[in-house]
Structure 1
């Protein structure tokens, strides 16, 4: 098997690939379950059903031409999505940016189609992890003519901090972020099971060195304020006349002085 290169979809059938997919599926289920709206889109990686826990009425899976799948809704270029601006409430990107030939253009396109306060959910491989370090070392060995890659030879790593910087430049606000997959880069299922304790230890002692990171970001638009459900009643209350405290006090004082000076009041006092 020296020098063998495994494809992305075949790699997800291996023990580490299934371990990765199981963790990511659980994260997507939690992240999208309470995101509401009308239109949601998953870009790429049909092996993960990233929108299955979401309850929006319109959900699509978009794939590139190289990733045909029977259940795909549409095939498109990720850097030129066939949606109008401000039309989608949720976009999920499972390893989409690191597999894209132009991740900057893809992320800009996602920002264009999202509505204000819409959400993007991103997962990617962390280069500062045991899996990332083994992949880089394996690529060096392959240049020398021996060894094999641990991960598929597809795409490039995008670091966690770099991804957050890209999101900030596009006016996204990172709502949450976490890491996962702390077991060593081993191929056999038996060794993965023996190293299961790495998951709890990694979350506690080296959380930023997980093999995968997971981000949820919100599109913010400056100068825009979302109205609550009772905005009509709030506007009516704001426009209702309000008595001025100083004026009321002055009118009450003038009326009291007038009553004191009234001659009718003096006559009533003498008679009594």
Structure 2
């Protein structure tokens, strides 16, 4: 069962949630810059991470699964940019978005391949998607005190295989969130991030993988078909064999031609 949107909002208002937002937002900025002039989609509950992109991106919208619920985003007097959607039917046209961020969505999906195929459908041919999941070997996947402790965590090979099954080709990956999921340690998140990436990289809390859309030119396959040739109504007669004659025997023309000499 998915986490409720109210639980997710409370988590990101806490010290640990702010630390997670800072670490993941940094990774997005390293990968995509400020996304100037691009169309960005946040799937699941990814609004805490894409909010900084709104200043330069052409469009930033959020799609939240129906089982989770939706919140008005970005709030205040700004126009709402979030919508409630079934996970297997995003309400957008094909190849619309240049960048897609997936957070708090894949781990609790009832059909991960079908979900990622929808992401593939709305991603532009030159677009990129970053999928963020709880790392199977990290501490965050082993505690239910945070939203990352629910659903299915993934290893790097498992996530890459799942993306390829949905025709998304992995192009890069990284880890984030090395601080233990304990509230009073959130203030040292930056120090844990610097030391953990060098000393114990396998114990990161989150796994981020970037993928690109696979597109193939499909050639039509030729098929054999029987062709029934029309038979002529009258079959041609075989040519007559030439008639041999002796040199002294007159031809038919010679026999029928009147003689010019009279005796």
Compute the TM-score of the two structures, normalised by the length of structure 1.
0.64
Distance between the aligned counterparts of 2:97 and 2:194, measured in 1? 36
Identify if the C-alpha distance between structure 1 residues 77 and 44 changes in structure 2 by more than 3 Å, giving closer, same or farther. same
Distance between the aligned counterparts of 1:185 and 1:209, measured in 2? 12
Instruction: Report what 2:31 is aligned to.
Output: 31
Instruction: Report what 2:211 is aligned to.
Output: 217
Identify if the C-alpha distance between structure 1 residues 8 and 159 changes in structure 2 by more than 3 Å, giving closer, same or farther. farther
Instruction: Report what 2:233 is aligned to.
Output: none
Instruction: Report what 2:177 is aligned to.
Output: 181
Structure that is richer in helix per residue: 1
In the alignment of these two chains, the number of paired residues is: 203
RMSD: 2.7
Instruction: Report what 1:171 is aligned to.
Output: 167
Structure 2: stretches of 5+ with no match in the other structure: 1-5, 74-80, 219-263
Does the aligned pair in 2 maintain the 1:40–1:56 contact within 8 Å? yes
Compute the displacement of 1:213 (Å): 1.3
Instruction: Report what 2:86 is aligned to.
Output: 77
Structure 1: stretches of 5+ with no match in the other structure: 1-5, 136-148, 225-272
The residue correspondences of 1:219-258 to structure 2 (distance < 5 A) are 219-223=213-217
1:231-265: CA deviations, max 9, x gaps?
xxxxxxxxxxxxxxxxxxxxxxxxxxxxxxxxxxx
Distance between the aligned counterparts of 2:196 and 2:180, measured in 1? 11
The residue correspondences of 1:3-82 to structure 2 (distance < 5 A) are 7-33=7-33, 39-45=39-45, 47-50=47-50, 52-53=52-53, 55-65=56-66, 66-71=68-73, 72-82=81-91
Distance between the aligned counterparts of 1:20 and 1:26, measured in 2? 10
Compute the TM-score of the two structures, normalised by the length of structure 2.
0.66
Corresponding residue SS for 2:27: helix
Compute the displacement of 1:194 (Å): 5.2
Structure exhibiting the larger radius of gyration computed from Cα positions: 2
Identify if the C-alpha distance between structure 1 residues 34 and 220 changes in structure 2 by more than 3 Å, giving closer, same or farther. farther
Identify if the C-alpha distance between structure 1 residues 171 and 194 changes in structure 2 by more than 3 Å, giving closer, same or farther. closer
Alignment pair present for 1:116 and 2:125:
yes
